Amino acid sequence: MWDILNLKTFVQLYQDFLQESKKKGWRIEVLIEEYGNYLSSIKNHEGIEVQFFLELDLENSEKLNETTHQSNLNYGVIRKKGEGDLFAKEVLEAFHQYWSKHSLKRKTFIIYKP
């Protein structure tokens, strides 16, 4: 099953997740915040850093009508192999838990207006 979200709603979930992460004591630094591309650095108490990203696939979008397009959204964690593996998994699990509170399904495609 697919969950249809608009880009603005999904980005708001992402930003809210980052705010929730700050409450855990994780240090958050937004590195890129532009239309379709979002990248944040997240550091835990031990100083281990991962980068959490959202990326709208603009190259493979489908035009639904004159003002609306549909595309896939990729997200994930970039980490240094080894030391960042466990924290990367923790960040993804935290995001999935946060997302499941706000959405019934995880396979998502995004509706957006360019």
- Kindly state the tokens that stand for 90: 């923790």
> How many Å separate Cα 68 from the centre of its chain?
21
Domain locations along the chain: 3-112
pLDDT at 101: 81
At 4, the pLDDT band (50, 70, 90 cuts) reads low
At 98-107, the pLDDT tens digits run 888 876 554 5
For every residue of 31-62, DSSP letters joined together read: EEEETTEEEEEEE-TT--EEEEEEEE--TT-E
Q: How far apart are the first and last CA of the chain?
A: 25
Question: What is the pTM (predicted TM-score) of this model?
Answer: 0.80
The average pLDDT across 5-9 equals 71
In this structure, of 6-10, 70-74, 108-112, the range with the lowest mean pLDDT score is 108-112
Dist CA 58 CA 55 (whole Å): 9
